[in-house]
Amino acid sequence: MIDSKGDVLVWGPMHASLMQALEANVNVHKRWEIADFDSWAVSHAEAIRVVVTSGVYGADNATLDKLPNLEAITSFGVGYDAVDSAYLAGRGIQLSNTPDVLNNSVAETALALMLCVSRRISEAERFVRAGKWQQAKFPLGNDLHGKTCGIVGLGKIGKTIAKLVSAFDMHVAYFRPSGPYADVSYTHYADLQELAAAADYLVVIVPGGADTRHLINRDVMRALGPSSFLINVARGTVVDEAALVAALLESEIGGAGLDVFDDEPNVPAELIAMDNVVLLPHIGSGTHETRQAMADLVYANLAAWFEHGKLVTPVDL
């Protein structure tokens, strides 16, 4: 055991190797198996020192209120908008996430979506499967090379996306409201609509939360234009989904590649019906290698907290 006195509340089923490590080394309490949490809390809540969760599950404040000795939350994923940062800071609860280890896989997903909407890969595959090739030629797609990739949010994943698209001879520009990076040569736009107007592909990779909710609105989409594409590998809340449907129906943008949605796993029927939209089930970091690295980092944070009272990858609250 890491610490025989350390009890952990796990919010939902996690990566198999992470669950195995937890069950072998700490006292695990499975939130999803506790039918009557109030009754359970009477006997167990005071023992819980750490919560393990993910960007999908999050953690609600009402439940956390019942854990008086909670010290830290370790979250599986880079985004932490599903927990209340201000609440955690107010209680002095530490938070960790899993940055860096998923940069490449999410960037690859963004590039895959760009290629898919450009060359109409999903549509072409359906065309062949439906037996249409014998009757007609498939319509032309678009090149990536020579085009401009506008990146909304040039953090670590955004910079990895920029590196990949640069290998395709694309021009890179970015939006960062706090100003340009001093050490980055890509073109910076302080105005999001101006970036959208300059971009052939607008790739969204900013954190979710109240500050970025509907950042990509109808005005941004109109600025993007009818021959350009929206790619979202951030959070569904960052894009005004109703506005996106309307913009696509009105041909105000050329198409979209979406890995995330506002009400996952529910996807608007209008989007499902569109051939110029590629839809993925939130698989940005969904590779065996990346998920294992994420699981390892969650466990490393947990172990470091129990052993040293410090997290490996703490979030600055």
Taking CA 154 as the corner, what is the angle to CA 152 and CA 156, rounded to the nearest 5 degrees? 135
Number of C-beta neighbours around residue 211 at 10 A:
11
Structure tokens belonging to residue 243: 């506005």
Distance CA 33, CA 48 (A): 16
Respond yes or no: is residue 308 known to be catalytic. Answer: no
Maximal CA-CA distance, the chain: 70
The residue annotated as part of the active site, out of 235, 241, 252, 291, is 235
Burial 6-41 (b: 16+ CB within 10 A, else e): bbbbbbeebbeebbebbeebbbebbbeeeeeeeebb
Active-site choice (125, 250, 264, 307): 264
Q: Token digits for 123?
A: 């549509």
Q: Both tokens of residue 147? A: 């085009």
Instruction: Determine whether 176 is an active site residue.
Output: no
171 is catalytic: no
The active-site residue, picked from 49, 120, 176, 282, is 282
Give 209's strand partners: none
d(CA 144, CA 114): 8
User: 255 forms bridges with which residues in the sheet?
Assistant: 229
Crossing angle of helices 288-308 and 103-119, in 10° steps, is 150
Strands in the chain per DSSP E? 7-10, 27-30, 48-54, 72-76, 94-96, 148-152, 171-175, 187-189, 201-204, 229-232, 255-258, 277-279
Which positions are catalytic? 235, 264, 282
